[in-house]
Amino acid sequence: MSADAGERITYHNGKIQVPDTPIIPYIEGDGIGPDIWRATERVVDAAVQKSYGGRKKIVWREVLAGEKAFNQTGEWLPKATLDDFKTYKVGIKGPLTTPVGGGIRSLNVTIRQELDLYACVRPVRYIAGVPSPMREPEKVDMVIFRENTEDVYAGIEWASGSPEAQKLITFVNQTFNRSIDPSAGIGIKPITRFGSERLIRRAIQYAIDHKRRSVTLMHKGNIMKFTEGAFRDYGYQLAGREFPDQVITEDALYRDYGGRVPEGKIVLKDRIADITFQQVLLRPDEFDVIAAPNLNGDYLSDALAAQVGGVGMAPGSNVSDEVAVFEATHGTAPKYANQDKVNPSSLILSAIMMLEHLGWQEAADRIRQGLESTIAQKIVTYDLARQTAGAREVKTSEFASAIIDSL
């Protein structure tokens, strides 16, 4: 079906409006991207067809980024690609390489910043049968909301010995009586009330909408009091102001309710970043939704993915108030490119998130059940097969076919 046959997704009064034939841009990605994209597209199309009998259909529209874009246009990230994501509101992408040398720092980061995709959302949940280093991986069921535009990803830094670094160090040392080594490289870590609140607001609303138990603010505010400490404070202030009937603090829970959560309430708590890494390992069932500044969320989401089988089993999305781009959370693995070998689960799971975003829950549920059934039958790609006794190792395309057969 050509793009001319489809319709645009729109928003009305802040609510997404999805036609029966939405046009959805996709970037197949670099390295293994084409392999996992072909598998994902087949699975999604089959699930939509089986769920809706032809009444609904995604009209895919390829847009370019990465090596394919550079080879065809001379640009790593054409403006037309960003414009299409803005126009059509929902997109999906495979992994992208980062150009070596000057220019774009990271294609993924640039897409997030140019489209103001301020929330990186990473659900992490164990699928039975996936090899895991954990004793009880089934207790891992968390959703990470990571701020995407501030903190270290703002990219405000200068190299050691550069005129900019020396000028800033001199200014800070002389004006604020500090003693930064003049030879230091230096960066700035901005965290704003606006950026923090919109991320935390989205995390709390997600917890309410999906009947989750708690939201944890992860921060290093005991040391960085006016950046990460402020992130924590902004979260409590926002909850008290905007969600007073739905949210109670952990302090109030034990002070006023004896530790028993009242029905219909979400518990808001905070944890220091370093102890969080220990507690998600030792007591994962105490965590549910976690909201974090950029760097904390980056580390934590990959660490949690390791608990459920690695980034190959972890989906992700980057969202603003209207635009959402769903993506594989792993790299391009160029040595496996075009070998029909790698695990497409990360992108397939991201497509499930995309279908849920569209409100096409039946198709999303079919894919999830098909994926879980396929893995339970030990029909898996090489990365899982080598860790699974009695597994039947299959190609990327064969894995997709097995999921489709299980729909």
Q: How many residues does the chain have?
A: 407
Which residue is associated with the tokens 């270290």? 152
Q: For 65-69, which contacts have Cβ atoms below 8 Å and span 24 or more sequence positions? A: 65/27, 65/93, 65/96, 65/107, 65/111, 66/27, 66/29, 66/30, 66/33, 66/96, 66/97, 66/107, 67/30, 67/97, 68/28, 68/30
- For residue 152, give the nearest of 23, 301, 357, 299 by alpha carbon: 299
343 has binding-site annotation: yes
320 has binding-site annotation: no
φ/ψ of residue 346, rounded to 5: -60, -45
298 has binding-site annotation: yes
Catalytic machinery residues = 153, 220, 274, 298
* C-alpha span between 185 and 158 (Å, rounded): 6
73 has binding-site annotation: no
225 has binding-site annotation: no
* C-alpha span between 2 and 20 (Å, rounded): 14
232 has binding-site annotation: no
What CA–CA distances, in Å, run from 45 to 95, 147, 199, 300, 351?
21, 32, 32, 32, 11
> In the chain, what's the furthest Cα-to-Cα distance?
71
Handedness of CA 235, 355, 11, 90 (dihedral sign): positive
Show the tokens assigned to 277: 């890494």
What are residue 238's DSSP bridge partners?
Answer: none
247's CB contacts (< 8 A; 6+ apart) are 204, 215, 239, 240, 265, 266, 267, 268
334 has binding-site annotation: yes
161 has binding-site annotation: no
What CA–CA distances, in Å, run from 56 to 44, 88, 90, 351?
12, 17, 16, 16
333 has binding-site annotation: yes
112's CB contacts (< 8 A; 6+ apart) are 118, 120, 148, 149, 153, 318
In this structure, the dihedral spanned by the alpha carbons of residues 112, 27, 301 and 251, taken in order and rounded to 10 degrees, is 50
112 has binding-site annotation: yes
122 has binding-site annotation: yes
296 has binding-site annotation: no
Known binding site for NADP(+): residues? 97, 330-336, 343, 382, 386
Known binding site for Mg(2+): residues? 298
Known binding site for D-threo-isocitrate: residues? 106, 108, 112, 122, 146
Known binding site: residues? 97, 106, 108, 112, 122, 146, 298, 330-336, 343, 382, 386
